Amino acid sequence: MLDVRRLRLLRELAHRGTIAAVAEALAYTPSAVSQQLSALEREAGTALLARSGRRVELTPAAHGLVAHAEAVLARLELAEADLAAGRAGPAGPLRIGAFPSAARAVVPAALAALAGAHPALEPRLHELDPAAVAGALRAGDVEVALVHDYDFVPVPVETGVETVALFEEVMFLAAPHTFTPLPGEPHPLRRWRTAPWIVAPADTRCGTMTVRACEAAGFTPDARHVMDDFPAVLALVAIGGGVALVPQLGATAPEADVVLTPLPMHRRTMAAHRRGAAGNPAIAAFVDAMRAAAARITSG
């Protein structure tokens, strides 16, 4: 019989690429991971890893076993969700990952609603970048986390992870009141092509969105400042530091000297959880609370 815990290690190796990365993510030592994978090879009766110096690669048999492991782990999540649904109601710890603008503008209202409706539930909030959500879910660091995508930057498909839509925001062009757009230019971004821009780092979805949106409009933005905190971005805009693209939740308290122009662009936020866990009552309660809280905020 194949050991489920060892299958999980093999699945993580397929995603993370190195034994050291698997060990760090799952709080093992590298030698312990190697020993468990060797034991899994003996259980499987075939080679799963091809070793070359310090590197290991999965064999074709291992890749096939990983696909089965994904199905097994999803089925176990489904079993746990069914058991939880048979209890009195959502209870115990619920570890939640959230990116800063949602954690500031929406999550507190959702947690307050959860506290009133499900007092036995213990939400535990962690700041988590959307790019790190899939790994955190598979490692068991969180049960549910917020991810987002933008026009021009869709969410990548992650094995072992499911998402459910929560809410959508309008994107704004934030500009200093002292800046004047190019006259006679109808495109809402091209009229700012000669202005300095404030963009998020290139390895973030927000930064990628800004660059791709500008390129789709026919120009490359002059990235004068690189900043991934929307209040800081708006503060820079207010002093004439440049223009920026800001989602609705990032613009709930704009600076007085900032002009916000809505654009035909959107950011969509989803709740991500491990495949099979959708029926978990704690996760379902969090999703409902987030939708209700976001509806009150984004409708304004």
**Residues 4-50: tens digit of each pLDDT:** 999 999 999 999 888 999 999 888 998 999 899 999 989 999 999 99
pLDDT at position 252: 79
Nearest Cα neighbor of 139 from 288, 290, 13 is 13
270: β partners: 147, 165
% of the chain beyond a pLDDT of 70: 99
- In sign, the C-alpha dihedral spanning 129, 132, 134, 140 is negative
Q: What is the mean pLDDT of residues 205-224?
A: 94
CATH number of this structure's domain 169-265, picked from the four choices 3.40.190.10, 3.40.1030.10, 3.40.50.1820, 1.25.40.390 = 3.40.190.10
Identify the architecture of domain 4-83 in CATH: Orthogonal Bundle (1.10)
pLDDT higher than 60, residue 159: yes
pLDDT at position 164: 96
Query: Where exactly are the structural domains of the chain?
Result: 4-83, 91-165+269-298, 169-265
Q: Residue 58: left if φ>0, alpha if ψ -120 to 50, beta else—which one?
A: beta
Confidence class of residue 300 from pLDDT cuts 50, 70 and 90? low
pLDDT higher than 90, residue 1: no
% of the chain beyond a pLDDT of 90: 74
pLDDT at position 225: 97
Domains 4-83 and 91-165+269-298 belong to one CATH topology: no
Torsion of CA 5, 6, 8, 12, to 10 degrees: 140
pLDDT at position 150: 92
Q: What is the mean pLDDT of residues 226-251?
A: 94
Nearest Cα neighbor of 243 from 192, 278, 191 is 192
CATH number of this structure's domain 91-165+269-298, picked from the four choices 3.30.420.40, 3.40.50.620, 3.40.50.2300, 3.40.190.10 = 3.40.190.10
Letter for the amino acid at 221? P
Q: What is the mean pLDDT of residues 109-120?
A: 96
Tens-place pLDDT, residues 62-86: 999 999 999 999 999 989 888 888 8
Task: Kindly report which listed range (51-55, 69-73, 263-267) carries the lowest average pLDDT score.
Answer: 51-55
